[in-house]
Structure 1
Amino acid sequence: MKKWIRQIGIVFAITTLLAGCGASDEEASNGENATEVPTTEGNVIATVNGEEITEQEFQEILSFVAMQSGIDIHDEEGQEVLTMMEDQLLDQLIDQMLLTQDAKEKGLEANDNEIAEQIDLIKEQSQVQSDEEFHEMLAQQNVTIAELEEQYRQTLTFDNYMESIRADIAVTEDEVESFHDELVTQYGEEALEQDEINYEEELIKQKVNNELTAIITDLRESSEIIIH
Protein backbone atom coordinates (compact mmCIF):
# COMPACT_ATOMS: atom_id res chain seq x y z
CA MET A 1 0.00 0.00 0.00
CA LYS A 2 1.58 3.25 -1.08
CA LYS A 3 1.86 6.25 1.22
CA TRP A 4 -0.73 8.18 -0.80
CA ILE A 5 -3.43 5.62 0.00
CA ARG A 6 -2.89 6.26 3.70
CA GLN A 7 -3.58 9.95 3.16
CA ILE A 8 -6.77 9.69 1.12
CA GLY A 9 -9.19 9.10 3.99
CA ILE A 10 -7.87 12.11 5.89
CA VAL A 11 -7.93 14.31 2.80
CA PHE A 12 -11.57 13.39 2.17
CA ALA A 13 -12.41 14.04 5.82
CA ILE A 14 -10.86 17.50 5.73
CA THR A 15 -12.57 18.24 2.42
CA THR A 16 -15.96 17.35 3.91
CA LEU A 17 -15.40 19.27 7.12
CA LEU A 18 -14.20 22.42 5.41
CA ALA A 19 -16.73 22.47 2.57
CA GLY A 20 -18.21 25.93 2.47
CA CYS A 21 -16.50 27.19 5.62
CA GLY A 22 -12.80 27.48 4.80
CA ALA A 23 -10.65 30.10 3.15
CA SER A 24 -10.83 30.60 -0.58
CA ASP A 25 -8.45 28.61 -2.79
CA GLU A 26 -6.47 31.78 -3.44
CA GLU A 27 -6.15 32.54 0.26
CA ALA A 28 -5.13 28.97 1.05
CA SER A 29 -2.57 28.78 -1.74
CA ASN A 30 -1.04 32.15 -1.02
CA GLY A 31 -0.75 32.21 2.76
CA GLU A 32 1.95 34.29 4.41
CA ASN A 33 4.33 31.35 4.73
CA ALA A 34 3.54 29.61 1.41
CA THR A 35 6.51 30.35 -0.80
CA GLU A 36 6.75 29.40 -4.46
CA VAL A 37 10.27 28.49 -5.53
CA PRO A 38 11.70 26.73 -8.60
CA THR A 39 11.72 22.95 -8.31
CA THR A 40 15.20 21.89 -7.24
CA GLU A 41 14.49 18.54 -5.62
CA GLY A 42 13.37 16.40 -8.55
CA ASN A 43 9.85 15.16 -8.00
CA VAL A 44 9.19 17.04 -4.73
CA ILE A 45 6.37 19.52 -5.37
CA ALA A 46 5.96 20.90 -1.83
CA THR A 47 7.48 20.73 1.62
CA VAL A 48 5.63 21.41 4.87
CA ASN A 49 7.95 22.09 7.79
CA GLY A 50 10.51 19.95 6.00
CA GLU A 51 8.10 17.08 5.20
CA GLU A 52 7.81 16.36 1.50
CA ILE A 53 4.92 15.86 -0.92
CA THR A 54 6.15 14.24 -4.13
CA GLU A 55 4.80 14.57 -7.65
CA GLN A 56 4.17 10.82 -7.79
CA GLU A 57 2.10 10.81 -4.59
CA PHE A 58 0.16 13.86 -5.74
CA GLN A 59 -0.65 12.46 -9.18
CA GLU A 60 -1.76 9.13 -7.73
CA ILE A 61 -4.10 10.85 -5.28
CA LEU A 62 -5.41 13.07 -8.08
CA SER A 63 -6.12 10.03 -10.25
CA PHE A 64 -7.87 8.29 -7.35
CA VAL A 65 -10.06 11.34 -6.65
CA ALA A 66 -10.88 11.56 -10.36
CA MET A 67 -11.90 7.91 -10.41
CA GLN A 68 -14.11 8.31 -7.33
CA SER A 69 -15.70 11.41 -8.89
CA GLY A 70 -16.43 9.66 -12.19
CA ILE A 71 -14.08 11.91 -14.15
CA ASP A 72 -12.75 10.46 -17.41
CA ILE A 73 -9.07 11.39 -17.33
CA HIS A 74 -8.62 10.29 -20.95
CA ASP A 75 -10.72 12.97 -22.60
CA GLU A 76 -10.08 16.70 -22.95
CA GLU A 77 -12.89 17.76 -20.66
CA GLY A 78 -11.69 15.41 -17.93
CA GLN A 79 -8.17 16.79 -18.17
CA GLU A 80 -9.52 20.33 -17.82
CA VAL A 81 -11.38 19.33 -14.66
CA LEU A 82 -8.24 17.70 -13.25
CA THR A 83 -6.26 20.87 -13.90
CA MET A 84 -8.83 22.89 -11.97
CA MET A 85 -8.69 20.38 -9.10
CA GLU A 86 -4.92 20.40 -8.71
CA ASP A 87 -4.48 23.54 -6.60
CA GLN A 88 -7.36 22.64 -4.29
CA LEU A 89 -6.08 19.10 -3.80
CA LEU A 90 -2.56 20.29 -3.03
CA ASP A 91 -4.00 22.70 -0.45
CA GLN A 92 -5.88 19.82 1.15
CA LEU A 93 -2.75 17.66 1.28
CA ILE A 94 -0.84 20.51 2.92
CA ASP A 95 -3.67 20.99 5.45
CA GLN A 96 -3.65 17.27 6.22
CA MET A 97 0.08 17.33 6.78
CA LEU A 98 -0.15 20.37 9.05
CA LEU A 99 -2.89 18.78 11.16
CA THR A 100 -1.01 15.49 11.44
CA GLN A 101 2.12 17.31 12.56
CA ASP A 102 0.11 19.33 15.09
CA ALA A 103 -1.60 16.18 16.39
CA LYS A 104 1.78 14.57 17.06
CA GLU A 105 3.03 17.67 18.86
CA LYS A 106 -0.08 17.60 21.07
CA GLY A 107 0.36 13.93 21.92
CA LEU A 108 -2.72 12.82 19.96
CA GLU A 109 -1.00 10.31 17.70
CA ALA A 110 -2.76 6.94 17.78
CA ASN A 111 -1.06 4.41 20.04
CA ASP A 112 -0.29 0.76 19.37
CA ASN A 113 -3.32 -0.46 21.35
CA GLU A 114 -5.75 1.62 19.26
CA ILE A 115 -4.18 0.30 16.07
CA ALA A 116 -4.22 -3.30 17.31
CA GLU A 117 -7.95 -3.00 18.10
CA GLN A 118 -8.65 -1.93 14.51
CA ILE A 119 -6.54 -4.77 13.10
CA ASP A 120 -8.40 -7.26 15.30
CA LEU A 121 -11.70 -5.83 14.07
CA ILE A 122 -10.65 -6.36 10.46
CA LYS A 123 -9.65 -9.93 11.24
CA GLU A 124 -13.05 -10.54 12.83
CA GLN A 125 -14.93 -9.01 9.91
CA SER A 126 -12.81 -10.95 7.41
CA GLN A 127 -13.51 -14.19 9.31
CA VAL A 128 -9.91 -15.36 8.98
CA GLN A 129 -8.90 -18.32 11.12
CA SER A 130 -5.27 -17.37 11.81
CA ASP A 131 -2.69 -14.60 11.52
CA GLU A 132 -1.11 -16.50 8.65
CA GLU A 133 -4.40 -16.52 6.75
CA PHE A 134 -4.81 -12.81 7.46
CA HIS A 135 -1.34 -12.03 6.10
CA GLU A 136 -2.09 -14.08 3.00
CA MET A 137 -5.30 -12.09 2.47
CA LEU A 138 -3.35 -8.83 2.72
CA ALA A 139 -0.68 -10.13 0.35
CA GLN A 140 -3.35 -10.76 -2.29
CA GLN A 141 -4.08 -7.02 -2.11
CA ASN A 142 -0.36 -6.19 -2.21
CA VAL A 143 -0.49 -4.85 1.35
CA THR A 144 1.76 -5.72 4.30
CA ILE A 145 0.68 -5.72 7.92
CA ALA A 146 3.09 -2.84 8.59
CA GLU A 147 1.45 -0.76 5.86
CA LEU A 148 -2.02 -1.52 7.20
CA GLU A 149 -0.93 -0.50 10.70
CA GLU A 150 0.48 2.76 9.35
CA GLN A 151 -2.80 3.45 7.52
CA TYR A 152 -4.69 3.14 10.79
CA ARG A 153 -2.10 5.22 12.65
CA GLN A 154 -2.81 8.06 10.21
CA THR A 155 -6.60 7.84 10.25
CA LEU A 156 -6.93 7.22 14.00
CA THR A 157 -4.59 10.12 14.73
CA PHE A 158 -6.89 12.39 12.75
CA ASP A 159 -9.91 10.95 14.60
CA ASN A 160 -8.21 11.70 17.93
CA TYR A 161 -7.47 15.23 16.76
CA MET A 162 -11.09 15.85 15.78
CA GLU A 163 -12.34 14.40 19.06
CA SER A 164 -10.05 16.77 20.98
CA ILE A 165 -11.59 19.72 19.15
CA ARG A 166 -15.12 18.47 19.68
CA ALA A 167 -14.50 17.93 23.41
CA ASP A 168 -14.06 21.69 23.86
CA ILE A 169 -17.23 22.58 21.95
CA ALA A 170 -20.45 23.31 23.83
CA VAL A 171 -23.75 24.82 22.75
CA THR A 172 -26.50 26.47 24.76
CA GLU A 173 -30.25 26.11 24.36
CA ASP A 174 -30.42 29.69 23.13
CA GLU A 175 -27.82 28.94 20.42
CA VAL A 176 -29.74 25.85 19.31
CA GLU A 177 -32.98 27.84 19.15
CA SER A 178 -31.34 30.63 17.13
CA PHE A 179 -29.80 28.05 14.79
CA HIS A 180 -33.22 26.45 14.29
CA ASP A 181 -34.78 29.83 13.52
CA GLU A 182 -32.06 30.57 10.94
CA LEU A 183 -32.74 27.29 9.16
CA VAL A 184 -36.47 27.88 9.21
CA THR A 185 -35.90 31.25 7.55
CA GLN A 186 -33.75 29.63 4.86
CA TYR A 187 -35.68 26.42 4.15
CA GLY A 188 -39.08 26.61 5.82
CA GLU A 189 -40.48 24.67 8.76
CA GLU A 190 -42.02 21.90 6.65
CA ALA A 191 -38.75 21.04 4.91
CA LEU A 192 -36.92 20.84 8.23
CA GLU A 193 -39.54 18.54 9.73
CA GLN A 194 -39.14 16.14 6.80
CA ASP A 195 -35.35 16.01 7.29
CA GLU A 196 -35.62 15.28 11.03
CA ILE A 197 -32.58 17.41 11.84
CA ASN A 198 -30.74 17.13 15.15
CA TYR A 199 -30.15 20.86 15.61
CA GLU A 200 -27.75 20.52 18.52
CA GLU A 201 -25.58 18.03 16.64
CA GLU A 202 -25.58 20.13 13.47
CA LEU A 203 -24.61 23.24 15.42
CA ILE A 204 -21.76 21.38 17.10
CA LYS A 205 -20.52 20.22 13.68
CA GLN A 206 -20.63 23.80 12.45
CA LYS A 207 -18.59 24.99 15.43
CA VAL A 208 -16.08 22.17 14.94
CA ASN A 209 -15.73 23.17 11.28
CA ASN A 210 -15.13 26.80 12.25
CA GLU A 211 -12.55 25.81 14.84
CA LEU A 212 -10.74 23.51 12.40
CA THR A 213 -10.63 26.29 9.82
CA ALA A 214 -9.13 28.67 12.40
CA ILE A 215 -6.54 26.08 13.44
CA ILE A 216 -5.46 25.48 9.84
CA THR A 217 -5.18 29.23 9.27
CA ASP A 218 -2.94 29.59 12.35
CA LEU A 219 -0.83 26.57 11.36
CA ARG A 220 -0.30 27.95 7.86
CA GLU A 221 0.83 31.30 9.28
CA SER A 222 3.31 29.70 11.69
CA SER A 223 4.67 26.99 9.36
CA GLU A 224 7.21 26.87 6.59
CA ILE A 225 5.35 25.84 3.45
CA ILE A 226 7.32 25.75 0.22
CA ILE A 227 5.53 25.04 -3.06
CA HIS A 228 8.02 24.03 -5.74
Structure 2
Amino acid sequence: MDPSDRKTSAVVIGASGGIGGAVADALEAGGAFGVVHRFARSTPGEAHIDLEDEGSIAAAVARVAQGPVPTLVFVATGVLHHGQEPERSYKAMTAEHLLRDYRVNTVGPALIARHFVPLMPRDRRAVFAALSARVGSIGDNRLGGWHSYRASKAALNMILTNLAIELGRSHPQAIVAGLHPGTVDTGLSAPFQRGVRPEKLFTPAASAARLLKVLDGLTPADTGGVFAWDGMRIPA
Protein backbone atom coordinates (compact mmCIF):
# COMPACT_ATOMS: atom_id res chain seq x y z
CA MET A 1 0.00 0.00 0.00
CA ASP A 2 1.09 3.57 -0.67
CA PRO A 3 2.69 5.21 2.42
CA SER A 4 0.27 8.11 1.99
CA ASP A 5 -2.49 5.70 3.07
CA ARG A 6 -1.25 5.97 6.67
CA LYS A 7 -3.65 8.87 7.11
CA THR A 8 -6.49 6.71 5.84
CA SER A 9 -8.27 3.62 7.08
CA ALA A 10 -8.99 0.07 5.95
CA VAL A 11 -12.22 -1.78 6.62
CA VAL A 12 -12.42 -5.56 6.92
CA ILE A 13 -15.90 -7.09 6.96
CA GLY A 14 -15.91 -10.63 8.33
CA ALA A 15 -12.85 -10.11 10.49
CA SER A 16 -13.73 -12.95 12.86
CA GLY A 17 -13.29 -15.52 10.09
CA GLY A 18 -10.05 -17.18 9.11
CA ILE A 19 -9.28 -15.13 6.01
CA GLY A 20 -10.81 -11.88 7.27
CA GLY A 21 -8.93 -12.05 10.54
CA ALA A 22 -5.67 -12.80 8.75
CA VAL A 23 -6.23 -9.90 6.34
CA ALA A 24 -6.86 -7.51 9.23
CA ASP A 25 -3.76 -8.82 11.03
CA ALA A 26 -1.62 -8.34 7.93
CA LEU A 27 -2.91 -4.82 7.36
CA GLU A 28 -2.20 -3.85 10.95
CA ALA A 29 1.27 -5.40 10.85
CA GLY A 30 2.04 -3.61 7.58
CA GLY A 31 1.36 -0.22 9.13
CA ALA A 32 0.17 1.38 5.90
CA PHE A 33 -3.16 2.48 7.37
CA GLY A 34 -3.80 4.73 10.31
CA VAL A 35 -6.77 2.60 11.37
CA VAL A 36 -7.89 -0.92 10.48
CA HIS A 37 -11.56 -1.38 11.28
CA ARG A 38 -12.65 -4.95 12.05
CA PHE A 39 -16.32 -5.85 11.73
CA ALA A 40 -17.98 -9.24 12.12
CA ARG A 41 -21.39 -10.72 12.84
CA SER A 42 -20.07 -12.56 15.90
CA THR A 43 -18.50 -9.42 17.40
CA PRO A 44 -20.67 -7.48 19.87
CA GLY A 45 -20.93 -3.73 20.26
CA GLU A 46 -19.62 -1.18 17.77
CA ALA A 47 -17.69 -3.80 15.79
CA HIS A 48 -20.84 -5.84 15.07
CA ILE A 49 -22.11 -6.14 11.51
CA ASP A 50 -24.62 -8.56 10.02
CA LEU A 51 -24.92 -8.66 6.23
CA GLU A 52 -28.57 -9.63 6.61
CA ASP A 53 -29.28 -6.55 8.75
CA GLU A 54 -28.86 -3.33 6.79
CA GLY A 55 -29.20 -1.29 9.96
CA SER A 56 -26.01 -2.86 11.33
CA ILE A 57 -24.21 -1.95 8.09
CA ALA A 58 -25.34 1.67 8.39
CA ALA A 59 -24.14 1.74 12.02
CA ALA A 60 -20.73 0.43 10.96
CA VAL A 61 -20.48 3.11 8.28
CA ALA A 62 -21.31 5.80 10.83
CA ARG A 63 -18.45 4.57 13.00
CA VAL A 64 -15.94 4.54 10.12
CA ALA A 65 -17.08 7.99 8.99
CA GLN A 66 -15.86 9.48 12.27
CA GLY A 67 -12.23 8.68 11.45
CA PRO A 68 -9.80 8.66 8.51
CA VAL A 69 -11.26 8.11 5.06
CA PRO A 70 -11.29 4.43 4.01
CA THR A 71 -9.22 3.60 0.93
CA LEU A 72 -9.65 -0.16 1.28
CA VAL A 73 -12.87 -2.04 1.96
CA PHE A 74 -12.33 -5.80 2.08
CA VAL A 75 -15.42 -8.04 2.29
CA ALA A 76 -14.27 -11.42 3.62
CA THR A 77 -17.68 -12.99 4.21
CA GLY A 78 -19.46 -15.92 2.67
CA VAL A 79 -21.52 -19.04 3.30
CA LEU A 80 -21.20 -22.48 1.72
CA HIS A 81 -22.71 -25.01 4.10
CA HIS A 82 -23.79 -24.44 7.73
CA GLY A 83 -26.85 -26.66 7.76
CA GLN A 84 -27.28 -26.87 4.01
CA GLU A 85 -24.74 -28.87 2.04
CA PRO A 86 -23.89 -27.82 -1.53
CA GLU A 87 -26.32 -29.47 -3.95
CA ARG A 88 -24.92 -32.31 -6.02
CA SER A 89 -27.93 -32.25 -8.35
CA TYR A 90 -30.68 -29.91 -9.49
CA LYS A 91 -33.05 -32.26 -7.67
CA ALA A 92 -31.67 -31.00 -4.36
CA MET A 93 -32.33 -27.31 -5.03
CA THR A 94 -34.68 -25.50 -2.67
CA ALA A 95 -35.86 -21.92 -2.51
CA GLU A 96 -34.65 -21.66 1.08
CA HIS A 97 -31.10 -22.71 0.19
CA LEU A 98 -30.91 -20.50 -2.89
CA LEU A 99 -32.19 -17.44 -1.08
CA ARG A 100 -29.92 -17.99 1.93
CA ASP A 101 -26.82 -18.07 -0.26
CA TYR A 102 -27.96 -15.03 -2.24
CA ARG A 103 -28.64 -13.03 0.93
CA VAL A 104 -25.17 -13.68 2.35
CA ASN A 105 -22.98 -14.04 -0.74
CA THR A 106 -24.57 -11.48 -3.05
CA VAL A 107 -26.96 -9.10 -1.34
CA GLY A 108 -24.73 -8.59 1.70
CA PRO A 109 -21.64 -7.43 -0.23
CA ALA A 110 -23.88 -5.31 -2.47
CA LEU A 111 -25.24 -3.48 0.56
CA ILE A 112 -21.72 -3.07 1.94
CA ALA A 113 -20.82 -1.33 -1.32
CA ARG A 114 -23.95 0.81 -1.22
CA HIS A 115 -23.14 2.14 2.23
CA PHE A 116 -19.32 2.22 2.29
CA VAL A 117 -18.39 3.42 -1.19
CA PRO A 118 -19.69 6.98 -0.54
CA LEU A 119 -16.98 7.29 2.13
CA MET A 120 -14.18 6.39 -0.27
CA PRO A 121 -12.12 9.16 -1.90
CA ARG A 122 -12.61 10.20 -5.51
CA ASP A 123 -9.17 11.78 -6.00
CA ARG A 124 -6.84 8.85 -5.27
CA ARG A 125 -6.52 5.08 -5.38
CA ALA A 126 -9.25 3.28 -3.50
CA VAL A 127 -10.02 -0.45 -3.47
CA PHE A 128 -13.25 -2.34 -2.89
CA ALA A 129 -12.60 -6.08 -2.77
CA ALA A 130 -14.80 -9.05 -1.98
CA LEU A 131 -14.09 -12.75 -1.64
CA SER A 132 -15.57 -14.56 -4.59
CA ALA A 133 -14.81 -18.07 -5.86
CA ARG A 134 -13.60 -19.74 -9.02
CA VAL A 135 -16.79 -21.79 -9.05
CA GLY A 136 -18.69 -18.54 -9.58
CA SER A 137 -17.22 -18.30 -13.08
CA ILE A 138 -19.78 -19.21 -15.74
CA GLY A 139 -17.14 -19.60 -18.43
CA ASP A 140 -14.99 -21.87 -16.27
CA ASN A 141 -17.82 -24.17 -15.12
CA ARG A 142 -17.24 -27.73 -16.33
CA LEU A 143 -18.60 -29.76 -13.43
CA GLY A 144 -21.99 -28.28 -12.51
CA GLY A 145 -23.50 -28.83 -9.08
CA TRP A 146 -23.21 -26.57 -6.04
CA HIS A 147 -26.08 -24.60 -7.55
CA SER A 148 -26.81 -22.09 -4.78
CA TYR A 149 -23.17 -21.29 -4.07
CA ARG A 150 -22.15 -21.04 -7.73
CA ALA A 151 -25.12 -18.87 -8.64
CA SER A 152 -24.70 -16.52 -5.68
CA LYS A 153 -21.00 -16.02 -6.43
CA ALA A 154 -21.73 -15.48 -10.14
CA ALA A 155 -24.27 -12.85 -9.11
CA LEU A 156 -21.69 -11.26 -6.81
CA ASN A 157 -19.28 -11.05 -9.72
CA MET A 158 -21.92 -9.17 -11.73
CA ILE A 159 -22.49 -6.77 -8.83
CA LEU A 160 -18.74 -6.09 -8.76
CA THR A 161 -18.65 -5.53 -12.52
CA ASN A 162 -21.54 -3.08 -12.35
CA LEU A 163 -19.94 -1.29 -9.42
CA ALA A 164 -16.66 -1.00 -11.31
CA ILE A 165 -18.38 0.53 -14.34
CA GLU A 166 -20.22 3.09 -12.24
CA LEU A 167 -17.19 4.02 -10.14
CA GLY A 168 -15.16 4.40 -13.32
CA ARG A 169 -17.17 7.56 -13.92
CA SER A 170 -17.07 9.05 -10.41
CA HIS A 171 -13.90 7.48 -8.92
CA PRO A 172 -11.47 7.12 -11.85
CA GLN A 173 -8.66 5.70 -9.71
CA ALA A 174 -10.87 3.18 -7.92
CA ILE A 175 -10.38 -0.58 -8.23
CA VAL A 176 -13.19 -3.07 -7.67
CA ALA A 177 -12.14 -6.71 -7.55
CA GLY A 178 -13.37 -10.15 -6.67
CA LEU A 179 -10.80 -12.47 -5.12
CA HIS A 180 -10.53 -16.25 -5.24
CA PRO A 181 -8.40 -17.33 -2.27
CA GLY A 182 -7.96 -20.96 -3.27
CA THR A 183 -8.60 -23.64 -0.67
CA VAL A 184 -7.89 -22.16 2.74
CA ASP A 185 -7.86 -24.13 5.97
CA THR A 186 -10.99 -22.58 7.49
CA GLY A 187 -14.38 -23.76 8.64
CA LEU A 188 -15.89 -22.94 5.24
CA SER A 189 -13.63 -25.38 3.39
CA ALA A 190 -13.16 -27.96 6.16
CA PRO A 191 -15.67 -30.52 4.80
CA PHE A 192 -14.14 -30.33 1.33
CA GLN A 193 -10.40 -30.57 1.99
CA ARG A 194 -10.02 -34.28 1.37
CA GLY A 195 -8.00 -34.79 -1.78
CA VAL A 196 -6.49 -31.31 -1.72
CA ARG A 197 -2.73 -31.51 -2.07
CA PRO A 198 -0.91 -30.13 0.99
CA GLU A 199 0.79 -27.41 -1.05
CA LYS A 200 -2.64 -26.28 -2.30
CA LEU A 201 -4.19 -26.01 1.18
CA PHE A 202 -3.26 -22.55 2.39
CA THR A 203 -3.17 -21.21 5.91
CA PRO A 204 -5.27 -18.08 6.44
CA ALA A 205 -2.10 -16.02 6.92
CA ALA A 206 -0.57 -17.27 3.67
CA SER A 207 -3.84 -16.66 1.81
CA ALA A 208 -4.16 -13.14 3.21
CA ALA A 209 -0.61 -12.29 2.14
CA ARG A 210 -1.24 -13.55 -1.38
CA LEU A 211 -4.55 -11.72 -1.74
CA LEU A 212 -3.15 -8.42 -0.51
CA LYS A 213 -0.24 -8.82 -2.93
CA VAL A 214 -2.73 -9.32 -5.75
CA LEU A 215 -4.59 -6.16 -4.76
CA ASP A 216 -1.35 -4.19 -4.59
CA GLY A 217 -0.62 -5.19 -8.19
CA LEU A 218 -3.96 -4.14 -9.64
CA THR A 219 -4.56 -0.89 -11.52
CA PRO A 220 -7.78 0.87 -12.56
CA ALA A 221 -7.48 -1.00 -15.86
CA ASP A 222 -8.17 -4.21 -13.92
CA THR A 223 -11.29 -2.98 -12.17
CA GLY A 224 -14.30 -5.25 -12.30
CA GLY A 225 -12.26 -8.45 -12.63
CA VAL A 226 -12.08 -11.53 -10.45
CA PHE A 227 -8.56 -12.64 -9.62
CA ALA A 228 -7.17 -15.83 -8.13
CA TRP A 229 -4.63 -15.94 -5.31
CA ASP A 230 -1.83 -16.18 -7.88
CA GLY A 231 -2.90 -13.02 -9.67
CA MET A 232 -4.47 -14.77 -12.66
CA ARG A 233 -7.73 -13.31 -13.91
CA ILE A 234 -10.68 -15.71 -13.77
CA PRO A 235 -13.13 -15.77 -16.72
CA ALA A 236 -16.54 -14.19 -16.16
TM-score range relative to shorter protein: under 0.3
For normalisation by structure 2, the TM-score amounts to 0.24
Query: Of the two, which has the highest radius of gyration?
Result: 1
Larger helix share, 1 or 2 = 1
For normalisation by structure 1, the TM-score amounts to 0.24
Between the two structures, name the one with larger relative contact order (CA 8 Å, sep ≥ 6).
Answer: 1
